[in-house]
Amino acid sequence: QVQLVESGGGLVQTGGSLRLSCAASGRTFSSYAMGWIRQAHGKEREFVAGVSWNGLRTYYADSVKGRFTISRGNAKNTVYLQMNSLKPEDTAVYYCAAKYTSYYTGGRDYDYWGQGTEVTVSS
């Protein structure tokens, strides 16, 4: 069982930055691939970024490449999403999610989900 708690969301102007954090409970955090998925109002959930269990492979949606960076600190059971050059279309609830797999390649299929943190980018 893995419990995930996101933090770091808020209101920011276009071009600004935010850093989201996801704190995970459980001794086997380092065995899970981690992802950030977002859902804008009235839209489906969208994969944003993901990182393999060992942190060696990262994956990004085309819409955030070059602007967002995912990283993980297994010693701290935490995964981060650094978001730079934010745009109004980045406005969404951002969810942290965990998937127990050695063959992670991103996507929206995960075993555990956090409650989400809201990001609003004003124009």
Does the pLDDT at position 103 exceed 90?
no
Q: Which residues contact 32 (CB under 8 A, 6 or more apart)?
A: 2, 24, 53, 98, 99, 100, 101, 111, 112
Residue in the structure block whose two tokens are 């981060």: 80
pLDDT-derived band at 30 (thresholds 50, 70, 90) equals confident
Does the pLDDT at position 76 exceed 90?
no
69 versus 26: the higher-pLDDT residue is 69
Does the pLDDT at position 74 exceed 80?
no
C-alpha to C-alpha distances, 89 to 42, 48, 55, nearest whole angstrom: 13, 13, 27
Please report the pLDDT score of residue 89 as a whole number: 97
Does the pLDDT at position 4 exceed 80?
yes
For the chain, the average pLDDT equals 94
